[in-house]
Structure 1
């Protein structure tokens, strides 16, 4: 089967590629908003479905499991459909999952819809990263990826505000219904006008997989992606329950603080991309782990104004990892292996970061307190500095 690929060294300058980057970013934003919306809606969802804190953490795990299925199958699908149609299919899948979430009337039905939504989301990322790194010059990868990473950071701000608006005017189910419909429209538009036409993914052949897994960067980045996803999604999904149940804050105040805390992420994503270009992804990741680990621990160790400060500071650095992380994968893997590497690294990250960590925090909330969970999560990030030091210092294609 033929494969159309643009050589990464001959990609477009950043400004020339920006319109298509914005189109991809819009698609990412819609899909990510649908995935994280349950965080600020967690209080009414758990009350309506009579779910425990552990089951609430399990909601995030199910999205992660679905994403793992989507990620692992993305190479096969993008090889058959092209990257453009794979991204379109991902948006359509997330839209259907969100619509099902809005109509679920039992705990099991809601859990099944989250798995479906995660499966759609999992298809998106490998194709998107492949399109971005073929669309832009290598020297601009950090900036291009930081534009793309603005999508989840804006979604983190919009989600609590949108959730509060929908709960006050309608109910939590309507929020999923609106986003599901928007994702379906975006999927149809992307199939017609999105980038990646004619570009096909690489199915994970045994020889290609063997080349990927023999590289230490694969295993290190799998771990670090899990830790980074957990640092972003873990506190975000569990903070409303933590602030309401253990710190006596109202749901409205908790969601407003959650929204304000994510404003910095929009700008820090670009800072992370520029740091990856200027200082290298390895150094950027090391600094990220040190600062994010410290601020995550402070979530569980502080109260009052200091807790508010910690809630604001933790997202300030938690978003800086991803431009550097994707740049590290792209630099540490041959061109033909990048999409497959992302397709295998990110599911491990999803299982750890959007599965095990939120589930663990939920268990802590039921048994020893959310605060203790945040302290242990931050300490784990500091331990992972040992792994980050072993990341390669040179580009694999130099």
Structure 2
């Protein structure tokens, strides 16, 4: 069980809050750079003259670069430290977005997308270590809940910003603006970010073996693959689904997509409180089961029912991540937080964030999106139940 402390660790949540807010802002920009491709999928497809399935390969390049970078992040953080890695990540994303905004060639588009993924993947292991070093273990659930506000704000704002810029200017203008914002955040973090004491752990065979031999780790990897698949994969294809099979315009689909994330944003601050009340195992079971059922049912019924399920599903999915990262830190060997996160996110990004959107796009073109949604939800329900039954958590309550 990982209970190691650091000189930076504080038992006061209010003392840790400034660091959490800064990390959340960096995570927001990091996630926004990747989230925008979903709402922009149809305009990009039309602009570069590719089919929907062909354009969806950007998700594979994005997640492929992200997965490789996450896996190798320990090599860089072991030499530079976690603070510098976070600065390098934000800088790389900014430069990648600026490059992407200037290209009309699909091959170059994919190359810049992969570069953004490579840059974005450096953040997560160092971000998680910074959180666990600057907050007490009893506050991890609450700290990760604050951190998860970043991606969830991006889920809400990405469709609105995409529609605003596509309707009034162009999507390259949006990419340019976000790229400049990432460069600005890199400078702020370089000046104000905390300097952690523990260096990164490189992914050598000994370190990987120490983690990989634990069954609980692989169960958590499976949960993260499913959760990322629902959070990112389904999100990216929802506008295409609403346009193709529910009869909405692109503008209406993006508005629905944005509004569907409001409930999850409102619910997220309570996630840490719920974890403390009912424990890790019950939280995992409830969130994973709820996410699976709402996904399974999202494609069926009239439009209002679909919107209701699309609004409920993110509540369960985003609430998984605070408890998921806390449990991952507990079931892995002491001092391996960054490497265990690297291995987990590598698998979940490549499979959940890359292959799933591609499979859903193929299903939408050759069969139906409903079939893909139903199969995904049913698979998650079965696997989650089996995984929870076999998961051993050394400490089931944050306050234990």
| TM-score, normalisation: structure 1 | 0.95
Residue 243 of structure 1 is matched in structure 2 by 242
Corresponding residue for residue 33 of structure 1: 32
In 1, Cα distance between equivalents of 2:100 and 2:304:
36
Superposed CA deviations along residues 130-189 of structure 1, whole A, max 9, x for unmatched, are 010110011000000100011001111111111111112211111111111110111122
Q: Structure 1 CA distance, aligned partners of 2:193 and 2:160? A: 29
Does the 8 Å CA contact 1:269/1:323 hold for their aligned counterparts? no
* TM-aligned CA deviation for residue 364 of structure 1: 0.3
1:10: how far off? 5.1
Please give the residue correspondences for 1:328-367 in structure 2 after superposition, counting only pairs within 5 Å. Answer: 328-367=327-366
- 1:394 counterpart residue number: 394
Checking the alignment, whether the CA contact within 8 Å between 1:64 and 1:351 is kept in structure 2 is yes
Separation in 2 of the partners of 1:279 and 1:79? 37
Please state if 1:90 is matched with 2:89.
yes
Distance in 1, matches of 2:195 and 2:264, equals 28
Aligned to 1:375: 374
Contact kept? 1:8, 1:136, Cα under 8 Å: no
Residues 57 and 360 in structure 1, CA contact (< 8 A), matched pair in contact too: no
Verify the 8 A CA contact 1:140 1:277 in the aligned structure 2: no
Q: Which residue of 1 aligns with 2:154?
A: 155
Matching of residues 37-48 of structure 1 within 5 Å: 37-48=36-47
Match of 1:60 in 2: 59
Give the aligned partner of residue 223 of structure 1.
222
Tell whether the 8 Å contact from 2:264 to 2:312 is kept in structure 1 after alignment.
Answer: no
Question: Whole-Å Cα distance in 2 between the matches of residues 338 and 141 of structure 1?
Answer: 13
The CA deviation at 1:286 is: 1.2
The 5 Å alignment of 1:199-278 reads 199-278=198-277
Per-residue deviation, 1:302: 2.2
C-alpha spacing 1:67/1:121, structure 2 compared with 1 (3 Å): same
Is this contact kept in 1: 2:328–2:340, CA < 8 A?
yes
Aligned to 2:336, the other structure's residue is in SS state helix
Contact 2:287–2:316 under 8 Å retained in 1: yes
Runs of 4+ in 1 over 6 A off after TM superposition: none
> Partner of 2:122: helix, strand, or coil?
helix
CA contact (8 A) 2:82 2:200 kept: yes
May I ask how many residue pairs the two structures share in their alignment?
Answer: 394
Deviates more, 1:6-15 or 1:97-106: 6-15
Q: Is the 8 A contact 2:130 2:196 kept in 1?
A: no
Where structure 2 has 5 or more consecutive residues not aligned to the other structure, the ranges are none
Q: Deviations over 1:207-248 (max 9, x none)?
A: 222110111122111111111001111221101111112221
RMSD: 1.9
CA contact (8 A) 2:133 2:196 kept: no
Question: Gaps (5+ residues) in structure 1?
Answer: none
Higher mean alpha-carbon deviation, 5-14 vs 367-376, is at 5-14
Rounded Cα–Cα distance in structure 2 between residues aligned with 1:387 and 1:9: 35
Distance 1:124 1:8 in 2: 22
Deviations 1:256-306 (A, max 9, x none): 111111112223322332222332222211111211111111222222221
Counterpart Cα distance in 1 of 2:58 and 2:31: 15
Looking at structure 2, the residues matched to 27 and 204 of structure 1 have their Cα atoms a distance apart, in angstroms, of 24
SS of alignment partner, residue 320 of structure 1: helix
Taking the TM superposition and a 5 Å limit, the aligned residue runs for 1:305-344 are 305-344=304-343
The aligned residue for residue 51 of structure 1 is 50
CA distance in 2, matches of 1:254, 1:8: 48
